[in-house]
Structure 1
Amino acid sequence: MNIFENPNEPDKDKCLGDNYVGPGMKDTQVQLVISLALGLSAFLAFCTLRPRWKSLYAARKRHSNSAIGLPALPDTFFGWMPVLYKITEQQVLASAGLDAYVFLAFFKMAMRLFAAMFFFAAVVLEPINRHYVDGRSPSINSTQSFLFHQYETYRTYEHAALLGDSEPPDREPDNSFNHDMGYLWSYLVFTYFFTGLTFYFMDKETSKVLRVRQHYLGTQSTITDRTFRLSHIPKDLRTEDAIKDLVQKLEIGKVETVTICREWKALDRLMEERQIILAKLEETWSVYLGHKPLAVTGSQPNGDTINGRAGPQDPMDEEAGETDRLLRGANAQTFVERERPQTRFWYGFLRLQSRKTDAIDYYTERLRRLDERIMAARKKTYDAADLAFVTMDSVAACQMAIQALIDPQPGRLLTKPAPAPSDIVWSNTYAPRLSRRVRSWAITVFVAVLSVIWLVPVAFLASVLSICTINNVFPAFAQWLKEHEIARTLVQTGLPTLVVSLLNVAVPYLYDFLSYHQGMLSQGDIALSVISKNFFFTFFNIFLIFTVFGAVTSIFDVLRNSLRDTTYIAYTLARKIEDLSVFYTNFIMLQGLGLFPFRLLQFGSVALYPINRMGAKTPRDFAQMVQPPMFYYGFYLPTALLVFILCLVYSALPGGFWVLGLGLAYFSLGYFTYKYQLLYAMDQPQHATGGAWPMICYRVMLGLVVFQLTMSGYLALRRAFTVALLVVPLFVATLWYGWGFRRRVEPLTKFISLRSVKRADDGEEGESVMVDGDDDGTGVERMGRDVLRRGSTVDEDREKGLRFVNPSLIVPLEQPWIYQDPPPPLVQSDAGYATTPVAGSDDGEPESDLPLLGAESPRVVSASSTPSSSVSLGDTHIWRD
């Protein structure tokens, strides 16, 4: 029941947004049983399958050299849990890198914060609520009457303002100093206390993250750490020598290499086309080798029947004895050549003519001609773009270039840190700047509009599942639901929670696709953009719209009312937060207790495995199936941030200790789930430098602002206006903290301080400073790099031999992967392409170094295939591109 409905009036059949989710203890109990049933079944299934499916649940441990330093997990049912718990932060950092460390640091910070808040909320605040709110305060009906009276007073004032009446109705007296309402001051105290706790833990964890990040990046020297990105280059400087001279004259260090991005669009398209043809050729070979040889059946005593035609009698049959004929049988079979697959190609005027031909020969010839065109394209000179990558001789020189202004004119020669070579989206490096800006703004506007549109299906599904809507359409079914409380709870509360959770899982895939086409230069920028977009969706749709606005049609009403009275949003937020407490409690419960074990189980990969197995045809497909799946932070971090905000918002409200307890369980289970996946099961982007931490902190500050607005509105609804007004300094302090964070802390999350860069003469090159468990930095533990990092960081291992060069220019061309072992890549020589020598074949005999897909070998012939009887293609016009 909506607390703002007049309890003295009869019930009305209204299907408003406030009635979608009806609060009740039975709803929470049923949701708890469902969540525990789902979670325990998934967890037990994971414990059972983990030692059996190591190719899935230990994929990273089996394929990544970075995971060598991790301990092996026992194959017992629960034995892996203590070993995983004992893995230290140093091991996480050495094996998974900074992004994994930062991601898990957020979960550890949330665990510590909500454990402390849960203690004080349960021990101090909850007894006050039980004594005053549940004891001496009016009953539920009288409380609803009081809130309804307050709401009607506000609406009367609003109506008078619309009519132009300057005299508002008399306000109720301030209850701030009412002796019977004195307990409201405890809410103000705990609002300040919980805000201070959040600042304390966040500031403490931020200092630790910065210290670890600076030491980690300062002690390594990868090509990425020594390279900066130079953009907005004027046309007269778009040569390697000109840029090198420019940087050399700055006297900040020596330039090793300069890579100017050029218009490689034609070459990149040829490489994309080659990948398509290569996949088709491999699929054609798999079809051909998968066919059984044709059989020649002899059913006549005086001759064989071959393909339905009578053939001459075998002369050996005349001399064969009766025993031989009896042993061979009347239906003797002789195996002949496999049937070669055919394909149809189109040619002629407007590609109107077609012809079927041998598919292996066709795709092999197309691949050979593409290789020739790629060879020629690689030797061409392309126009220079306004972007370059400059590699310095030291990390310090690179950092000085990044943190300095190069050109006196605004908007020219801008420097930024360079992404890893394998992280660059090369197609965007030469795209016109205007085109990338248009795409960026268009997708940003589309995401903003889409976030509003998402409310329509959410509100529709929620309204369809409400009792009042069902009563209007199916009265008998609604009556049955009213008589069966558990069924009503499943329909009215459980299903909306499940729908919102599933939408929260599916939408990130769409935003990931949109971010990839937004024109960003690196995969790291795309990942951060996905985090931002998905958080905007979860916060705007699942929280802000669902609570403050209620429905799309009321957005403009709320905005109009808030312009006339700045306290309107605080009133509305506090009122709706109370109404939707059961919904958000069930949401946190389902996300933590129910869905985290399914993420540990990797239910999506398990469910899709039979489909992928049936769709796999080539050895390359089967090899990709056993590769570790990618861990995308943008898919998981926004939901965790939303749960963090919900825990803050409900922390000081009556019954808030339940939400804090569920939040503590959520972040505890999430920490160990993601710790296992990041270390053993899933891979991550390369050379990530913890760029998500400032995003996390800013969204925590946003949660504090919402928490303070909610508490101010909650106190104002109880006419404690003075107490509500005293929350305003907290709001100002949060904004001031955010401004200081941006000025003092954020630069250290983007750059490396010059004092942190370790040089050879510092005496610390062989050591690194890692912090595990120390809070003030006094207990710093120093480990030898050969112990902690195995001689190098995970980034240094990944970037050995990499250069800032478009892969289309230098990558060896792949041969068709036909058999179980992958073929060697083609290497370029003066005479063309030839394969590298192979040590030996499957039968132990060395294979000859024969040219493959070169000018003298127009098609691939396997050892088990027979010469094709198809017509020779030669140099006919049908393969000319």
Structure 2
Amino acid sequence: MIVSALLTSVGINLGLCVLFIAIYSILRKQPWNVKVYAPRSIVEGKAQNDDDISLERFLPSTGWLVSAWSPSEDEFLAIAGLDAVVFMRIFILCFKVFLVAGIIGMFVIVPVNYRGDQIEQFNLFNITNQSLDKFSISNLNDGSNWLWVHFAAAYVITAVVCYLLYSEYKYIASKRLEYFDRSGRNPHEFTILVRSIPTYDGRSLSATVNRFFTELHPSLYMDHLVVRRTNKLQDLMNGAKDIYKKISNLKSREHSTEISVSSYDRISEDPEEKLWIEKTGISMSGKEVSAAFVCFRSRYAMTEVVRIRQSIDPTQWIIEQAPEPCDVYWPYFSTTFMGRWISKVLIILASIVLTIFFLIPVGFVQGLAHLEKLNELFPFLQNILSIPFVSQVVTGYLPSLILHTFLSMVPPVMKFFSTMEGYLSNNEIERSACTKMIWFTTWNIFFANVLSGTVVNQWNVILEPKNLPILLANAVPAQATFFISYVVTSGWTDISAELTRTSSLICDFLGRNCFRCCLREFTAPHIPYHRAIPSILFFGLIGITYFLLAPLILPFILVYFCLGYIIYRNQLLNVYCKKYETGGRFWPSVHNTLIFSLFLMQAIAFGIFTVKQLRLAYLLTIPLMFATYLFNEYCRKRFLPIFTAYSAESILKKDRREQNDPTMEIFFDNLMSNYRKYMVTEYCSENPDSRSSESTPLLSDHT
């Protein structure tokens, strides 16, 4: 890609960023857009009606930047929760990494690369028609001593990244422990979830659960809830939903009569009464599902039971800590052990198929990025493509836009795959989908792009894994300008578009002005971690990988992290509400991805030094990779257990602090009712995250 095509892409996306930010700063001040740009204030009861019309309301302003920047981390924690704080720490970590990397890259590596003469001289007077390869490592001659600068830079950036990763891991681990210690009593801290409960002739599952835990843990066991499936209750709920929509529709019409509304109000009383009767008498009907919530008298007792296998048969009495009541995902409680295992296998196969099919748009995109290939494939377009601006847009902006469009369709698919694996909490589903998306983007956006065109020509090289670093060393630098364009298209523009929330704005406008009614109960959205985290980490991978090869990409990535930090901070303070709290459990995935990025950079450096015939440098790269591996192992042993489970020391400290609290008995009396409440309201809810009405509801019987 020549400089003119890159500048066209940067110019288009920079203009879009400024446009999105300016539009947002105006739209957010309009009172009718409060559901779109400040739904958190509505949920928290802090929304204010401001109908005063003034010129300032219709002019762009930067007041939202000050509001987003002002809260301290402790204030931000109190508002958004620990998961949101940990999410923002990703931006802070990456900003620190690429600030150091950018300084080294732009002021040390770029001048060194320019000193080479492997590529024809760069003409500053005709910069738009020049290639940026002059500033990449490809410009250095084979065996050049200037390559030792890159070798030293590899050691320096590895040390910097490892130090920052260790500091962040330690800091977040301490915040997780502190958060647990300061949090109040939560039902899931005393409750386990039991699945694959065996059945016995003449005995109900409820009696089986009660007898099993009474015999094994008589002094620890307190109570239980067996999950039931009831279709009758679902019919009542659907009826209540229909009547609620009709009432909302009538009340929203200007000419609706009070008689009509009151008639529907009286009608609605009947289903509500039936619903309550069905709920309170649920133990008399409904099929039992082989799952139950079991609560214990202390956190330590619950933890002790979870860590011990309860049955001789590992496929029975499968136990895990229960999710928060609001975090439970209900549809797959009846899935058997074998069913979950088969589902996981099928999901693996489906993910592989999706990965293979995604190579089609990747190949098409790579064809667009090379003008000479387009002229060969579509000779009838030569006259159009010969127009400078058209060729610049087609080769510079269009490829990354198309790739980003296709990639935006993948997160919902990955989340669907994760739900089919049988997870019983929303946070597990999102963390699983997040992991899938990380590897999907790494393979299909990075490797598939850099290796396209090389796979066919050097298939015999790929078959030998030892030659992979050499293959990457040849292929990765050639895609530097494409990834710069990708950063500004999928990074700058996409994260700026996050502010305007275009789809939500359109839906809200149609609901207010066309349908004149509210068809669903208002709820604030939850930040899609499975979409946001993989995207952030992928840009981190690109930046670390290209640090040695083409450092010109680093300023663009640094701008992305600056934009992302302030924009997502604003969204978490004003738009997104907490749906669940994991205590930052997705941080190990962040750490592992950045460690993988380091390994990838080091492997490519090994290949570069091999191709450039600097034997001693590529031999000394091996100890660097080994040191990185040891560092990762140390972090895994030192910090990962904190994110897997809380220690006995932390749990007992919290238990002892509450053992003489007189309110504990009231808490235990209401403990199981928390899960029962969400079992009912989960299917009454009309929020976007509610389960499909096709799913049979799951309730529970208390004995």
Give the structure-2-normalised TM-score: 0.81
1:526 pairs with 2:495: no
**Within-5 A mapping of 1:549-564:** 549-550=452-453, 554=455, 560-564=460-464
Give me the whole-angstrom Cα distance separating, in 1, the residues matched to 2:179 and 2:251: 51
Give the structure-1-normalised TM-score: 0.66
Contact 2:35/2:42 (<8 A) preserved: yes
Partner of 2:345: 441
Q: CA deviation at 1:407?
A: 5.4
Give me the whole-angstrom Cα distance separating, in 2, the residues matched to 1:431 and 1:409: 18
Partner of 1:105: 89
1:510 pairs with 2:413: yes
AA in 1 matched with 2:14: L
Show structure 1 runs of 5+ residues with no match: 1-22, 69-73, 145-150, 152-174, 295-334, 341-358, 767-795, 816-881
Partner of 1:649: 545
**Within-5 A mapping of 1:189-588:** 189-220=152-183, 221-235=185-199, 239-246=208-215, 248-249=217-218, 254-261=220-227, 264-265=228-229, 267=230, 269-283=231-245, 371=275, 374=278, 378-380=282-284, 385-406=289-310, 410=314, 413-463=317-367, 466-472=370-376, 475=379, 477-482=381-386, 484-550=387-453, 554=455, 560-564=460-464, 566-588=465-487
Partner of 1:707: 601
Structure 1's 244 and 138: CA in aligned 2 closer, same or farther, altered over 3 A? Answer: closer
Please give the per-residue CA displacement for 1:194-229, whole angstroms capped at 9, x wherever unaligned. 112111111110000000001101222211222233
Contact 2:223/2:294 (<8 A) preserved: yes
Please give the per-residue CA displacement for 1:365-407, whole angstroms capped at 9, x wherever unaligned. 9958985994697132666555433323333333344345555
Contact 1:228/1:402 (<8 A) preserved: yes
Match of 2:532 among 636, 658, 669: 636
Partner of 1:185: 148
Give me the whole-angstrom Cα distance separating, in 2, the residues matched to 1:511 and 1:811: 23
Give me the whole-angstrom Cα distance separating, in 2, the residues matched to 1:638 and 1:720: 35
Q: CA deviation at 1:572?
A: 1.8
AA in 2 matched with 1:198: V
Structure 1's 205 and 573: CA in aligned 2 closer, same or farther, altered over 3 A? Answer: same
What secondary structure sits across from 2:226 in the alignment? strand
Q: CA deviation at 1:808?
A: 4.9
Q: Percent identity, please.
A: 20
Give me the whole-angstrom Cα distance separating, in 2, the residues matched to 1:800 and 1:246: 22
Structure 1's 696 and 288: CA in aligned 2 closer, same or farther, altered over 3 A? Answer: closer
Please give the per-residue CA displacement for 1:288-337, whole angstroms capped at 9, x wherever unaligned. 7889999xxxxxxxxxxxxxxxxxxxxxxxxxxxxxxxxxxxxxxxx9x9
Please give the per-residue CA displacement for 1:497-551, whole angstroms capped at 9, x wherever unaligned. 1111222222212222332333211111111122122222211111111113448
Instruction: Single out whichever of 515-524 and 236-245 deviates more from structure 2.
Output: 236-245
Contact 1:428/1:520 (<8 A) preserved: yes
AA in 2 matched with 1:245: T
Partner of 2:74: 90
> Cα RMSD (Å) of the superposition?
4.0
Give me the whole-angstrom Cα distance separating, in 1, the residues matched to 2:81 and 2:254: 49
Give me the whole-angstrom Cα distance separating, in 2, the residues matched to 1:463 and 1:199: 38
The alignment of Structure 1 onto Structure 2 pairs a total of residues equal to 644
Please give the per-residue CA displacement for 1:657-680, whole angstroms capped at 9, x wherever unaligned. x22222211111111111111121
Give me the whole-angstrom Cα distance separating, in 2, the residues matched to 1:558 and 1:606: 49
Give me the whole-angstrom Cα distance separating, in 2, the residues matched to 1:290 and 1:66: 23
Structure 1's 689 and 761: CA in aligned 2 closer, same or farther, altered over 3 A? Answer: closer
Contact 1:66/1:94 (<8 A) preserved: no
Q: CA deviation at 1:762?
A: 6.0
* Structure with the bigger percentage of helix: 2
Partner of 2:566: 672
Please give the per-residue CA displacement for 1:451-503, whole angstroms capped at 9, x wherever unaligned. 11011133235436753454346546424433x32321101221011111222
AA in 2 matched with 1:133: G
Give me the whole-angstrom Cα distance separating, in 2, the residues matched to 1:373 and 1:270: 12
Partner of 1:691: 585
Please give the per-residue CA displacement for 1:733-758, whole angstroms capped at 9, x wherever unaligned. 33333344333322211212233344
Please give the per-residue CA displacement for 1:103-140, whole angstroms capped at 9, x wherever unaligned. 1111111111111121222233333333x325xx5647
1:55 pairs with 2:35: yes
Q: CA deviation at 1:641?
A: 0.9
Contact 1:428/1:519 (<8 A) preserved: yes
Partner of 2:676: 805
AA in 1 matched with 2:527: F
Contact 1:117/1:651 (<8 A) preserved: yes
Contact 1:230/1:413 (<8 A) preserved: yes
Q: Please say which structure displays the higher CA radius of gyration.
A: 1
AA in 2 matched with 1:593: W
Give me the whole-angstrom Cα distance separating, in 2, the residues matched to 1:138 and 1:461: 26
Partner of 1:818: none
AA in 2 matched with 1:735: Y
1:733 pairs with 2:637: no
Contact 2:343/2:422 (<8 A) preserved: yes
Give me the whole-angstrom Cα distance separating, in 1, the residues matched to 2:582 and 2:284: 34
